[in-house]
Amino acid sequence: MADQTLKRTTRLRNLIKAGGPGIVPGATDCFTARIIEEAGFPVIYVTGGGTANTYLGGPDIGLVTLNELAGQVERISDAVSVPVIADCDTGFGGVANVKRTIRAYERAGAAGLHIEDQVFPKRCGHFDGKAVVSIEDMLYRLQAALDARTDPDFLIIARTDARGPEGFDSALERAHAYLELGADAIFVEAPSSREELERIGREFRGTPLIANMVERSRTPLLPEKELLAMGFNIILYANAALYLGSFAIRKGLEVLKKERTTESLLDRMTTFQERQQLIGLAKVDAAERELVERVKRRLKSGA
């Protein structure tokens, strides 16, 4: 059990030092984040791509702005008690923008973030058509991020998307350069085989590593146990909850359209009572009653 008195940034660092946290599901909203926390996962990821899909109804092609994504990070961080890691795309501009981004994410309550070396506007790391900036330009971004943080425990993850446009060896070269500059963790996006994942683990043994499990895409889905053994500490399932939810919604709406009632779906739906429990209605009501009674006592004692 994590020490809840510690800052969430420190708790995340401690999890990584212990070899984990392992699987980190992604949330696109506060309700999903609460479900992930309730399921017992010790860290939550705020997905930029999933936010674009759900907040804008658009693809992950750099459409989400700093304020939109930082706002989502703030709401999700406020809704849960576990550490939150967030996607910040390319940092939303030049080095001054990157500094602003880091400060915004710290204020939003994130425990860490990853920043990538794509050009702007970026594309999902598993899309075709990606392009990356020079190593030097990414080092400027990364140094700006490192300089801007005020909490030394705030985790800054350097992500490279060079595997597609430049090849695997180039991605590793970039990752080594980012680590040498001072990145806290390394994220080589979209390796295409078990062998590539194993090589990342060997080359960066002892360095905190991120693996991104994207279902039916470029990187093979491997069990958590195997990825941890390779040296990956954080195993993102960035949009698993989104895929699960959209699948269930689609199937349920098909039934509703056909049967004109949800009666046959009740055993596959969260109940009204479960919904209120998840969002903490009883706690909010109890706090309001306590406040009212406290004020009444004060007014009575002062009468």
What is the per-residue pLDDT for 149?
A: 98
Active-site residue, 89 included: yes
Active-site residue, 189 included: yes
DSSP 268: G
What's the pLDDT tens digit per position in 279-299? 999 999 999 999 999 999 999
Active-site residue, 116 included: yes
What number is the average pLDDT over the span 33-51?
Answer: 97
Cα separation of 250 and 238, whole Å?
20
| Residue 255: both structure tokens together | 């039934």
What number is the average pLDDT over the span 268-284?
Answer: 95
Locus of tokens 């984990």? 20
Q: Which of 29, 37, 74, 89 is catalytic?
A: 89
Active-site residue, 137 included: no
Q: Which of 212, 233, 237, 239 is catalytic?
A: 212
Q: Which of 29, 124, 174, 184 is catalytic?
A: 124
Active-site residue, 178 included: no
What's the pLDDT tens digit per position in 120-157? 999 998 998 899 999 999 999 999 999 999 999 999 99
Name 113's Cβ contacts closer than 8 Å, sequence gap at least 6: 85, 86, 87, 88, 102, 105, 155, 156, 157
pLDDT band at 270 (very low <50, low <70, confident <90, very high): very high
* Nearest partner of 235 among 226, 243, 244, judged by Cα: 226
The half-sphere exposure of 9 on its side-chain side, counting CA atoms within 13 A, is 18
* Phi-psi group of 203: left, alpha or beta (phi > 0 → left; psi -120 to 50 → alpha; rest → beta): alpha
| Residue 299: both structure tokens together | 């007014």
pLDDT band at 1 (very low <50, low <70, confident <90, very high): low
Cα separation of 23 and 43, whole Å?
8
What's the pLDDT tens digit per position in 212-265? 999 999 999 999 999 999 999 999 999 999 999 999 999 999 999 999 999 999
> Is the pLDDT assigned to residue 2 strictly greater than 70?
no
Active-site residue, 114 included: yes
CB 185 within 8 A of CB 208: yes
Q: Which of 87, 117, 161, 184 is catalytic?
A: 87
- Angle, helices 168-181/194-203, rounded to nearest 10 degrees: 30
DSSP 261: S
Q: Which of 161, 189, 233, 237 is catalytic?
A: 189
Q: What angle do CA 230, 235, 237 make, to 5 degrees?
A: 145
Active-site residue, 161 included: no
Q: Which of 114, 141, 163, 174 is catalytic?
A: 114
Active-site residue, 124 included: yes
Active-site residue, 176 included: no
Q: Which of 29, 34, 37, 60 is catalytic?
A: 60
Number of helical (H) and strand (E) elements in the chain, helices listed first: 13, 8
Q: What is the pTM of this model?
A: 0.93
Name 160's Cβ contacts closer than 8 Å, sequence gap at least 6: 116, 117, 132, 138, 171, 174, 175, 178, 186, 187, 188, 189
Q: At 113, give phi and psi (nearest 5°).
A: -155, 165
Q: Which of 29, 74, 106, 116 is catalytic?
A: 116
Percent of the chain residues past pLDDT 90, beyond the cut: 95
Q: Which of 45, 105, 178, 237 is catalytic?
A: 45
